[in-house]
Chains A and B, each alone.
Chain A
Amino acid sequence: MNEPNQPPDDPIGPPDPDAGHPRLEEAHMWNVVSYLISGPVMFGGIGWALDRWLGTAFLVPVGILAGMAVSLYLVWFRYGTQQ
């Protein structure tokens, strides 16, 4: 909360050009949720389509698991490695 380089909360003062975005990293937490939803939905959907096409029944769970894996990989790659 009280980081030393953060400017004081002055609603009328001019913006400090060196402040950057101190809370963007924290806000990325919410983007992670979107990724974790997209992966299983997308791959689960592909699995469902393949199930309909091939007449099988096991590709939906396989797709959901694969989607989770890809989502986690992307989240790790995007927010975990480029610091």
Chain B
Amino acid sequence: MSLNVLGSLAADGGGFQTPTSAEFYQPLWFDGPFAITRPAVVLILSVGLIAWWLIASTRRAAVVPGKGQWVTEGLYGFIRNGVARDIIGSKDFLRFVPLLFSMFILILVNNLFGVIPPIQYPTMSRIGFPIALTLVVYITYHYIGIKRVGVGPYFKHLVPSGLPGWIVPVIFALEVITFFITRPLTLALRLFGNMFAGHLLLLLFITGGQYMIVNGGIGLKIAGGGSYVMAFVLTIFEILIEFLQAYIFTLLAATYIAGSLVDEH
């Protein structure tokens, strides 16, 4: 039924253009591989904003914190204690807190930009940004592991001891693929996919609702209103996802670092 209504609407009204992945490529200056795109500008803006906020909220740090200091300390304590200390362990965690904290806050702010007007662009919905962040994590945990035990033993330690001999080559191949391909791939794709899909969904409900209200009859105008309600509900949901993805990325980075630091085999 509803499909028919939409079909006929598309047939006579010139058609509703569903948002596609092409919406995400928005060059502002130049074109081609060196174009300065909207997400690049959003990222630079976020870095400036974060730097200003962290300096402004902690410059006159007091024992009884003001509102800004309270928020910054809360976020910092959350990453320092809840992620870094509890996962990496109290012996080594302090030197990784700056990395994890800046990573968390950068991803969080950029994700939240996806729903904050007038920016409304989740930087991480362009795959290059998650890949760059993942590379930092990737190099860090391999570097720590290789520096701690050396190249040969590092590969030897990939396989847990005590396995039956005949299965060791198979498990070794599996571990190498997991450590060197699956882990970074899933880390980058999870963040990218969540931000991309969420933003596309919001775009669809908002542009679709607008189209139905502007071009449709009375029935479609009501459906368009429903579409806006959905857009609102999904925006709330999206904010939750944005927090969650920033947290999971940081949590996994800490897990990988912890794995390179402890003798778990």
B174 touches A15 (CB 8 A): no
User: Contact check: which of A10, A16, A18, A24 meets B255 at CB < 8 Å?
Assistant: A24
Chain A CB within 8 A of B171 CB: yes
Given contacts A15-B94, A16-B90, A24-B89, contact A34 B186 (CB under 8 A): yes
A21 touches B88 (CB 8 A): yes
Interface size class for chain A? 20 to 34
Chain B CB within 8 A of A54 CB: no
- Tally B residues with Cβ within 8 Å of A: 38
Write the chain A residue with the least CB distance to B261: A21
B77 touches A11 (CB 8 A): yes
Contacts of A28 in B (CB 8 A): 255
Which residues, 71 to 122 on B, are CB-close (under 8 Å) to A? 73, 76-77, 80-82, 85-91, 93-94
Chain B CB within 8 A of A78 CB: yes
Which residues, 4 to 58 on A, are CB-close (under 8 Å) to B? 9-11, 15-24, 27-28, 30-31, 33-35, 37-39, 41-42
CA of A49 to CA of B150, assembled, Å: 34
Q: Main SS of the interface on chain B?
A: helix
User: Contact check: which of A31, A33, A38 meets B174 at CB < 8 Å?
Assistant: A38
A70 touches B182 (CB 8 A): no
A31 touches B259 (CB 8 A): yes
A71 touches B174 (CB 8 A): yes
Min C-beta distance of A72 to chain B, whole Å: 11
A37 touches B80 (CB 8 A): no
A17 touches B80 (CB 8 A): no
**A residues whose Cβ falls under 8 Å from a Cβ of B:** 9-11, 15-24, 27-28, 30-31, 33-35, 37-39, 41-42, 70-71, 73-74, 77-78, 82
